[in-house]
Structure 1
């Protein structure tokens, strides 16, 4: 079997402005690579770490992690940039990553934040469980397992992902409670053809941000992983416009 190159966290060090990019559930830093390259070209430094359990050839590694682990990964990402000498940092998160980008704005000193197709208001209108099971089948096939081996484990995995999804839902209320207190710039991007979460949750987030200047963007022809979709160039341009308007301290 040929050697499989697993995705790796990346750090593109360029200009004095730093951006932390947080990937999606079942995703990896590859979710954010095109956006990162677009930012790097415009003199931004970009760091995209991995959430615990992600980026491996064993998809059930994800089920061994929990939201507290992923919050720690977010804090570690900020600490990494601080250690590199960057004080002013913006944080953008895709889907799950947007939950922790928002929490970072609430708990840490962040210049600006962005959520991309992020379920800050998660409801029953989502396709996370079946999507996870398809992800499991795809990854295990790549890893060389037989169809029989893959199917055998699916019922147990389904229970695990349902429990994890509930853990994420239980993690959200304290974050939601503090959204109204956010006063710094907030970027919201939502795909019009989102097949994973209820796209209307983006409007709930916008309405909850009663004190923050909000930059809201709807990409009608995009699906959930908006960073690699057909409108990714428009997204990159909008993110750059938002970042360029932040109050960077470059003295």
Structure 2
């Protein structure tokens, strides 16, 4: 099945520091491409893969689950580790959760974690009916496109396959249990107004990780897909500062910042 124009994976070779970025549920690399390009332009080796079942048509996603999505980013991380002296992981929404699990599982193989509007739970009463409803109804309305900036568009599906949503729910439960294994420096950026993922998810993550070097930044002008929104430049600038501080070994240890 052909990939939707603009949804292609993005990879650029650069220096000894690698960055793996993970896109969100039913989305595509397009939502993170400006972030990836910004990091690549500053000399880093960057990988932004297309998750299985994404970037084509929603019917293809029905045949995939969290194990497929995680396996893809795990493989990309291992490839980056073979070529780079240090690797950072990051992502948006579910992609942020994938990044956190990579950090939990790979330990010192991940130098730091950058997450934007991380998701921790499938919310709403309908989440509890997914084990049954996914056998009765194939899809629900799509969740992409929560952007405040006029004219900005996210490439993704207008339908959510409920089999995939059920798998996502199971993944969030698994990843939540592994959060205490995350010890790496963490940069978390969340939107003050997010119509897809509530602030409670970020609070839950911050309360459960074991990281001591933590920075939380609130984005006042953006909705969920903040990487395409008014605060995108701030995300990019904070990310490069975070990566360069850790890559050069200059900075604070054992602190928590809020901004």
TM-score by length of 1: 0.79
Give the Cα separation in 2 of the matches to 1:17 and 1:189.
21
Q: How does 1:177-192 map to 2 (within 5 A)?
A: 177-192=177-192
Give the Cα separation in 2 of the matches to 1:164 and 1:27.
13
Counterpart in 2 of 1:205? Answer: 205
Counterpart in 2 of 1:96? Answer: 94
Give the Cα separation in 2 of the matches to 1:167 and 1:207.
24
Q: Does the CA contact (< 8 Å) of 1:117 and 1:191 recur in 2?
A: yes
Change (3 A) 1:47 1:72: same
Q: Does the CA contact (< 8 Å) of 1:125 and 1:198 recur in 2?
A: no
Counterpart in 1 of 2:174? Answer: 174
Counterpart in 1 of 2:65? Answer: 66
Moved over 4 A (4+): 125-129, 132-135
Q: Does the CA contact (< 8 Å) of 1:121 and 1:204 recur in 2?
A: no
Give the Cα separation in 2 of the matches to 1:96 and 1:122.
10
Give the Cα separation in 1 of the matches to 2:233 and 2:168.
30
Counterpart secondary structure, 1:180? helix
Shift of 1:33: 1.1
Counterpart in 1 of 2:76? Answer: 77
Matched, 1:245 2:245: yes
Give the Cα separation in 2 of the matches to 1:46 and 1:36.
6
Shift of 1:227: 0.6
Q: How does 1:91-240 map to 2 (within 5 A)?
A: 91-108=89-106, 109-124=109-124, 129-132=140-143, 161-240=161-240
Larger Rg: 1
Give the Cα separation in 2 of the matches to 1:232 and 1:210.
27
Give the Cα separation in 2 of the matches to 1:115 and 1:12.
20
Give the Cα separation in 2 of the matches to 1:61 and 1:87.
36
Task: Out of 177-186 and 22-31, give the one that drifted further.
Answer: 177-186
Counterpart in 2 of 1:150? Answer: none
Q: Does the CA contact (< 8 Å) of 1:24 and 1:93 recur in 2?
A: yes
Whose helix fraction is larger, Structure 1's or Structure 2's? 1
Counterpart in 2 of 1:44? Answer: 44
Counterpart secondary structure, 1:40? helix
Counterpart secondary structure, 2:75? helix
Q: Does the CA contact (< 8 Å) of 1:88 and 1:248 recur in 2?
A: no
Shift of 1:228: 0.7
Shift of 1:70: 0.6
Shift of 1:126: 9.7
Shift of 1:226: 0.9
The CA RMSD measured in Å over matched residues stands at 2.8
Counterpart secondary structure, 2:239? helix
1:122-180 per-residue CA deviation (whole Å, 9 max, x = no partner) reads: 43289994324999xxxxxx9xxxxxxxxxxx9xx76xx33322221222233222212
Change (3 A) 1:176 1:5: closer
